Structure 1
Amino acid sequence: MTTIKLIVKQLQGGECTIEALPTTSILDVKRLIYSHLQIPIEEQKLLLLGRTLADDQTVQAYPIKDGTKLNLVVKKPEGLREAAVKYFKSLGMTDGESVNATNRLLKIAQEKFNKLSWDDIDRLSMDCLLDESGQSRPAPQNEPDEEMYSL
């Protein structure tokens, strides 16, 4: 099977060229775009002639040939408020109930965050960064380092 060169143009200015087989899924095309442009897959929306390409379809499902230009729209990631409202709605809550539950959640999160020390925030931030990179924080040593207490 022959590979097809696709030119991906980001509406905000970035561009890359990728190669795919006709049997490559659109989701895999997005993975290739991520490797070139570092735009998270969930924030990518690919368009061909104004039509959104579905992740579960293949390149050959669309009128794509060698040298075809695809437009890449970068979707703004949802904020915590939007994600929470959507989640509560998925549980069967009404619009009003989901907004109220979201407001309570955000109030509790803010109160909890305000009680954290700078050290707690530093540890939380480091854990988040390590988690994103697939690493974990080293286990704390049970015994204090003797050099730490020496003069």
Structure 2
Amino acid sequence: MMILTVKILPGGRKECSIEVMNQESILSVKRMVARELDVPVHLQRLVFRGKTLSDGSALNDYNIGPNTKIHLVVRKPESENDPLSTSKIGTSTEFWEKLRSKLCKHFSQEDAEKVLHQYKLQFSSDLSNLSLGDIERLALKHENKDTDQAGPSS
């Protein structure tokens, strides 16, 4: 276990200390910060040495050790003009309807809507955290899959 200090930028007047393991995921750290500083996970961007920390990575991936200070940049809450707003992300697409249908088989209508809303928030957060390199890797992976499905050329 180690102590990590998280300081809100800009201003840095507010900070918290959390106890974490060095292999703790960034998403887990964000959840702890959300409890301590009352900042929703989807509005958090954690930064260490100028680099944004990816939710899918762990602290040790960035060589973050004991008594390290990382910075928290709080995103503005979504607005109606935000293309990544949960109210804009696939509001009536086939995917969301199929997911809603599946959730309703396992949850009450009210709970299914809550789960769907949380999923959309996480999806929005994940999407906004993608780097240009991440997008390029996704495109190349998709391109390779299309090429493999086309079969050998003659």
Cα offset, 1:84, TM superposition: 7.5
The residue that corresponds to 1:46 in the other structure is 46
CA RMSD of aligned residues (A): 2.4
How far apart in 1 are the matches of 2:22 and 2:65?
9
Matches within 5 A, 1:9-88: 9-12=7-10, 13-82=13-82, 83=85, 87=89
Identical aligned pairs, as a percentage?
Answer: 38
How far apart in 1 are the matches of 2:65 and 2:24?
13
Cα offset, 1:81, TM superposition: 2.5
More off after superposition, 52-61 vs 4-13 = 4-13
How far apart in 2 are the matches of 1:33 and 1:75?
14
User: Which residue identity is paired with 1:48?
Assistant: F
Q: For each residue in 1:60-81, what CA deviation from the matched residue of structure 2 results, as whole angstroms up to 9, or x when unmatched?
A: 1112111100000000011023
Q: Secondary structure at the match of 2:70?
A: strand
Length, aligned pairs only: 90
Structure 1 runs of 4+ with >4 Å offset: none
Cα offset, 1:4, TM superposition: 1.6
> TM-score by structure 1 length?
0.54
Q: Which structure has the larger Rg over C-alpha atoms?
A: 1
C-alpha spacing 1:65/1:80, structure 2 compared with 1 (3 Å): same
Q: Secondary structure at the match of 1:28?
A: helix
The residue that corresponds to 2:6 in the other structure is 8
How far apart in 2 are the matches of 1:37 and 1:30?
10
Structure 1 residue runs without a partner (length 5+): 92-130, 132-151
Q: Secondary structure at the match of 2:89?
A: helix
> TM-score by structure 2 length?
0.53
Cα offset, 1:87, TM superposition: 3.2
Structure 2 residue runs without a partner (length 5+): 94-113, 115-154
Q: Secondary structure at the match of 1:72?
A: strand
How far apart in 2 are the matches of 1:9 and 1:40?
15
